[in-house]
Structure 1
Amino acid sequence: MSVPLPTSFTYRTIDADGVRINCAVGGDGPPILLLHGYPQTHLIWHHVAPRLATDHTVVLTDLRGYGDSDKPRPGQDDAEYSKRAMARDQLLVMRSLGFDRFGIAGHDRGGRVGHRLALDAPDAVTALAVLDIVPTHHAFGHADMTFGLGYYHWFFLAAGNGIPERLIGRDPEFWITARMTARHHGGTPFDPAAVAEYVRCFSDPAAIAASCADYRAAAGIDLRHDEADAGRTIACPLLALWGEHSFVGRTYDVLAAWRGYAGDVRGRALPSDHYLPEEQPELVTTALRDFFSS
């Protein structure tokens, strides 16, 4: 069972300075890089990418540690999974494809990678869309009991001593499907073939370890990078989309949060929970096309 992209999309593996990144490329026109979140792969965009490819060159990748990309073994401080390292992978992928300047749309973790890439390589990123997130630094800086209960997985996955790796590894399918079904609100159902692909990829113990390192990095080295960049803002236009039924939509003034980190911020809520590209693909496509064409 698989969720194939149209045959106009071609798969390739690109060496990003020793880390092999799985990607698919299709369409023609101004380039857009689509980045996925946790616990998924590039296939979260399987509805959206073909629509965008009618007037853009669309690049979908698996972040390092996820999908069929390489999964470097985490070191002591999890620097291998800092958003800075993950963003550099994506910059090298786009350069390898011949794109020095490009737009980015990132959902969940992919939005955090896009945020870091827009800061570290401002000349490369023409526009950034972030889906259903507020900045990591803002989220931790405003953490309370509501945040702890709503985003308990941030703390669980960041725990040390192999605890989340061992527990998730006992039943990765349950973990993934429980996370996803709890964050869906009546839009387009998840494609069973896409879910099967998420489970296949996430059943690799190296993927579980990498994703935990991703979250530990967010609570450690990423925050240090963010604090070192205090006062810097994203130079390019930023579009924020979020689910009106999601934790983000119910908890934050999303546009106000992002205005502390970017100068040109726009966006709106969509009738969705967390997984906007799968639950409301037509609305997401329209919003992204309008934004990247403006």
Structure 2
Amino acid sequence: MNALLPDFTDATRRCGGVRIHAQVSGDGPPVLLLHGYPQTLAMWHRVAPELARDHTVVLADLRGYGDSGKPDDDPSHEQYAKRTMAADQAALMRSLGFDRFAVAGHDRGGRVAHRMALDVPEHVRAVAVLDIVPTLHMLGNVDRAMASAYFHWFFLSLDSGLPEQLILADPRAWLRSRFEGRHAGGLPTDPRAMAEYERCFTDAAAVRASCADYRAAAGIDLEHDAYDRDLGRVVEAPLLAIWGTHSFVGRHFDVAAVWKAYARHVTAVAVPADHYLAEEAPGEVARALASFFRNRDQDPVRHLDAEGTR
């Protein structure tokens, strides 16, 4: 990890009774970066140092991933609901002294960022989502192409124990299968990052937790999202949608149009990459994020004291 992010220091905290592994670097308005499946905070190693030139950058592993805690699941899967994960991350930022901050998330982290912007809008200054459309929209528009490209959504959500058994037979092969064929000719995945993903994903608790994450997405997350939709709630903070022009999301959805139904103020940027765009096209992603956040840095940064009060 140190070789990938040499200027970042540990900022791990206990949040909601769960250890949230975090790294921090830089100075300026705070930005929280959240990873996707099946990765860890290491996925930001090509983007985070650029953002840290003008921002305090916090990298965090979601609960169930990386070196964060992996609590046992519950029948409702509330332990791995995006609402619960978002509460972890908001608590992390408060513990670091940041009452209001920007957040960017890729893949699963984007879904957590989306939920955070809805649940605690007073804390979210701006939000960026990378290569996703909302879960509610994605699962409401399933066709053969989506079911083929995203078969793991349906496989991992099977609440039978079978996904864990099959993956744990060869977790490295499963992890690498998630990257195969999802590259458009940009920078390759750094072998050190892949080694970090393998180190973390070969933990049986991580496999079980990641399945719980997808079970929550197919159940309790949809309930939360549908409730907000029915009440007409949308993201009020400025939202940046970034996607890869070669990704399934980029090829099969009008990403900007979809997000405009879920957020009040949408900026849209496509970059030449497939799904893992922060690693394949880090320059383009870093520039898009830096420009978006810089234009919203005039929002006063409120700091908290050690007791969590302003």
Q: Could you tell me the TM-score, scaled by structure 2's length?
A: 0.93
What is the SS of the residue equivalent to 1:69? Answer: coil
Partner of residue 254, structure 1: 255
Distance in 1 of aligned mates of 2:137 and 2:221: 12
Distance in 2 of aligned mates of 1:68 and 1:88: 18
Contact kept, 8 Å, 2:4 with 2:193, in 1: the verdict is no
Give how far 1:292 is off: 0.2
Instruction: Report the RMSD for the aligned CA atoms in angstroms.
Output: 1.0
- Aligned runs of 1:235-250 on 2, under 5 Å? 235-250=236-251
Distance in 2 of aligned mates of 1:208 and 1:2: 24
Distance in 2 of aligned mates of 1:235 and 1:216: 28
Segments of 5+ residues of structure 2 without an aligned counterpart are 296-310
Paired residue type of 2:33 = L
Partner of residue 58, structure 1: 57
What is the SS of the residue equivalent to 1:59? Answer: strand
Distance in 1 of aligned mates of 2:185 and 2:2: 23
* Number of matched pairs: 293
Deviations 1:16-39 (A, max 9, x none): 021000000000000000000000
Distance in 2 of aligned mates of 1:94 and 1:2: 22
- Aligned runs of 1:50-129 on 2, under 5 Å? 50-129=49-128
Deviations 1:90-130 (A, max 9, x none): 00000000000000110000000000000000010010000
- Aligned runs of 1:172-187 on 2, under 5 Å? 172-187=171-186
Paired residue type of 2:113 = G
Partner of residue 191, structure 1: 190
Partner of residue 5, structure 2: 5
Deviations 1:2-55 (A, max 9, x none): 643123x11132010210000000000000000000000000000111111010
Partner of residue 264, structure 1: 265
What is the SS of the residue equivalent to 2:179? Answer: helix
Contact kept, 8 Å, 2:188 with 2:280, in 1: the verdict is yes
Partner of residue 44, structure 1: 43
Partner of residue 19, structure 2: 20
Segments of 5+ residues of structure 1 without an aligned counterpart are none
Give how far 1:85 is off: 0.2
Contact kept, 8 Å, 2:4 with 2:192, in 1: the verdict is no
Partner of residue 275, structure 2: 274
